[in-house]
Every structure is written in structure tokens, then in C-alpha cells.
Amino acid sequence: NPGELAERIWGAYERFGAFDYADGVPNSPQPENLPPEVVPQPDSSEDFKRAVSEALEEIKAGAYEKIVLARTVDLARAQALQPLDTLNGLREKFPGCYAFSFGGEGGCSFIGASPERLVRLEEGFVETEAIAGSTPRGANAVADAALGKALLSSKKDLSEHAFVRDSICRHLASIGIAARTRETPNLLRLANVQHLLTPITGKTPPGTHLLDIAEVLHPTPAVGGTPRLVALPRIRDLEGFDRGLYAGLVGAFNHRGEGQLIVGIRSAEINACQARLFAGAGIVAGSTPDGELCETEMKLNALLSALTET
């Protein structure tokens, strides 16, 4: 019933609009006399490095050109985690990202701060971007600039980025969208990491729906791999866990089929006192297990700090 749905949505909108972060989350009693510390669960770093090593062997053998492997970190906290507090912390720490919270099954909240927009469609104009290739932020302006310059000239990172950019352009062309893009990427500087970024735009054929574009783009090589049909089946085998909502799409569209979808990365699934954090890295020729582990650590730190500070 559209009327009932509209009433529910409006009621949720009003509740969120009136929420005061300073007062905490209502109706969420906390255990008494328990410390707020986070207790790490078994580490996934060695499993991740083994998976990267195996993927590099497969890349060397010509099985595929790129595959994105994620790892998880499980946390348990004495007190219940507060998703809205975490969301607010992510908004404040990473204003250049898309902060999101999505209610999953069984009271689970899927929450994160993603730098990656899959697609935006408005009045026949589509916007997307290729984001791939990463390096940390520097301790000062000189170090930061040096790291950024090195990223812009990194053969490994430029190759990884080109896989993503070219794949997006090919898939847009398959539904009649002539993509306009740059030959060389820019730097996307976030609070804790720098990425290579190439904006991609184009005009859509009449009647194109946002989901028509999502269907051909998702998953991009930034979260999947290339060739897609070869790399994707290997992800679950190599990772050894179910991604759940990680790397799925979050967003909305209107009755005209216009809207925006982001990719749910740099994310966590939170359920009461438990949380599972996710972060991934693109594996290409030239990658190393230790290097990719460091990249995932860099990405996980953002979520970890938001969870431990709330």
C-alpha cells in the first residue's frame, strides 16, 4: 500500500531529524559496570596474505588480470555498539566520503564511509568514477605531496586504475552511453588515504533507468576483478568467508529512475556487542602480500577508530 509505505518513511524521517547525538541513542539499555573496551577476535591477516599469494600465482599463469580480495576483523565489545554514534563519527572524520547506514536482517546495521560512488543519474546525465590505487597520507604537507606524486607515477597502481577505468567505459558503451573521461587520474585525498580517481561522465539514451546502469557496472573491477566472469568466482574461494552486504550497493532512486548508488566498502556489520569490519585491496601483477595487507590495515583503521571511540 503506497500510502502506508509513505507514512512509515515519513515517520522514520521525522525520528532521524529529531535525533540528538548528544543525548545518545534512545531505548538502548547498556550493561552496568562493564568496561567499554573492544576485544579483538582471531586475526585474519595470515589468511589474507596466503590468499594474495595464491591470487598472484593465478595472475602470473594468466587466469585473470586483477582480483579484489577483502579481509575481515571481528570485534566484541562489553557494551552494545551504537550504530548512529558510529555513523556520526564517520561523517565527522571523513566528510569527503559517503557515510551510510542500512538496516539489515535480524537487527544488524550495515554501516560505513565509502569513497566510491557507483553511479549518479539525473536528467539523462550520468556520473561515475574510477577509484583504484592507494597510498597513505603524509605526516606533513611535504611528505603528503611526495606520497601523492609517487602514487601518480606508480606503474602498479596506474595499471590497476586503468583496469577499473577501461572496464567502466566498456560497460557503459554496452548500453549506449559514450563515456567521457581523462587520460590521467587525479588524486582523491581523504583523511587517512589518497586514491587515484578518474571522473567519468556521459549522456544516457532516453528511458535509461538507474538500475540499467547499475546492472552493467556492478561489480566494477574496484571491488571484483577483471575479466569479471573469471575473477568473481574465485573471490569466495580465496577469501573463505561470505561478504554479506560488503561491496553491495546502497542508495535510492525516484519514480523517473533517477538517483544515486554508492558501493558499500570501508564498512562494518554491527549487531549489538558484535561487529565485523571489512576492507579490500586490488591484486594485480606487482602486488605483494605484505603491501596489500598494509593497504587493508590503513582502510580498517578508519572504522576501528570510529567504533572504539563511541
Question: What's the pLDDT tens digit per position in 140-181?
Answer: 999 999 999 999 999 989 988 998 899 999 999 999 999 999
66 flagged as catalytic: yes
Three-class DSSP category at 286: coil
Cell of 223: 571491488
What one-letter code names the amino acid at 26? P
Most confident of 4-18, 95-109, 204-218: 204-218
pLDDT at residue 42, as a whole number: 62
Full-model pTM: 0.82
Give residue-wise pLDDT tens across range 41-75. 667 889 999 999 999 999 999 999 999 999 998 88
Of the residues 7, 37, 58, 116, only one is catalytic, namely 116
pLDDT at residue 30, as a whole number: 45
pLDDT band with cut points at 50, 70 and 90 for residue 33: very low
Question: Poorest-confidence range of 157-161, 225-229, 271-275, 278-282?
Answer: 271-275
What one-letter code names the amino acid at 82? Q
pLDDT at residue 23, as a whole number: 59
156 flagged as catalytic: no
pLDDT band with cut points at 50, 70 and 90 for residue 86: confident
pLDDT at residue 36 is higher than 80:
no
pLDDT at residue 14, as a whole number: 86
Give residue-wise pLDDT tens across range 278-300. 999 999 998 999 999 998 998 88
E-strand ranges in the chain read: 38-40, 66-77, 98-103, 109-114, 117-122, 125-136, 180-181, 186-189, 193-203, 225-226, 249-253, 259-263, 267-271, 274-283
Q: Per-residue pLDDT averaged across 208-222, rounded? A: 93
Of the residues 65, 66, 93, 239, only one is catalytic, namely 66
Rounded Cα distance between 278 and 267, Å, is 6
Q: What percent of the chain stands above pLDDT 90?
A: 57
Three-class DSSP category at 248: coil
Q: Per-residue pLDDT averaged across 204-225, rounded? A: 93
Q: In this structure, what is the dihedral angle of CA atoms 167, 158, 196, 263, given to the nearest 10 degrees? A: 30
pLDDT band with cut points at 50, 70 and 90 for residue 26: very low
Residue 109 CA, distance from chain mean position: 15
What's phi and psi for 234, nearest 5 deg? Answer: -80, -20
Q: Per-residue pLDDT averaged across 1-6, rounded? A: 91
Q: Residue 149's CB: how many other CB atoms inside 10 A?
A: 12
pLDDT at residue 96 is higher than 50:
yes
Give residue-wise pLDDT tens across range 236-256. 999 989 998 999 999 999 999
pLDDT at residue 260 is higher than 90:
yes
pLDDT at residue 18, as a whole number: 75
